[in-house]
Amino acid sequence: MNLTVLNFEITENVAVIKMNNPPVNALTPTFLEEFRHAIEKIRNSEKARAAVLASECPGFFSAGDDINKLKAIDEELIALLPEVHSVLNAFEALPIPTVAAINGHALGGGLELALTCDFRFMGKDSGRIGLPEVRLGMIPAFGGTQRLPILVGKSKAIEMMYKGLQITPEEAKQIDLINNIFSGEELYEKSFDYARRLARQATGAIARIKKCVHTGISEGFEKGLSMERESFRENIVTPDAAEGIDAFLSGRKPEFKGNPKI
């Protein structure tokens, strides 16, 4: 596929997706099609062991949609929601660590996209982050009503959505909405380095941890425990588990091969 609103590459075992859909990286049908293509490339790659999601649009990570286009809300736009949910769910379910490098405003669907990542880093003074849809008389519809409470708790999530709050990086870090703040100049480098270091870990084990966590959240505690037992049984016989144990007993650094294809 000839990508027009995304740039995609795999370097040092890290899949890098850079959004380039000016002016606000709107989650248009073209964007969703290309994003799904990038997800499939990651799934089919033997090299991709972590991923970074970033923006090449000055001032914006993503604002989700162009407000001017919302003047003509019709059944076609409403019918797009299942596809948005499907694509974002697919990215969230990738069996590798994912990092969002938020170098501009992440509002509405832009924050909802960032919420699908395992880690969120933000640039200092890079912009605001929030779900302000209620200010337009609307509601978040790209998964924000479900994912935000998991991260920041029900009370804070409801406050943010009821008031349409757009908060600073410092405020976002205080409520664990983002993991860390870096200077704008350092943000991408720090985010990529974080992903690269995770890519060197036992990524098969990481994939199973991720699956267990998501199962428990979506299906409940007992289902999560069941998945944990099954995943432990599968993982304990992998080459990386043998390498990790042997390295520990030998007092050396493990050299994991990684196998996120579970």
| Catalytic site positions | 112, 133
DSSP state of 118: S
Compute the distance between CA of residue 35 and CA of residue 33 in angstroms, rounded to an integer. Answer: 5
Task: Report residue 195: phi and psi, to 5°.
Answer: -65, -40
Considering only CA atoms, give the Rg of the chain.
Answer: 19
Residues in CB range of 102: below 8 A, 6 or more apart: 55, 61, 114, 120, 121, 122, 123, 126, 127, 129, 178, 187
The pair of three-digit structure tokens given for residue 99, joined into one six-digit string: 């990092």
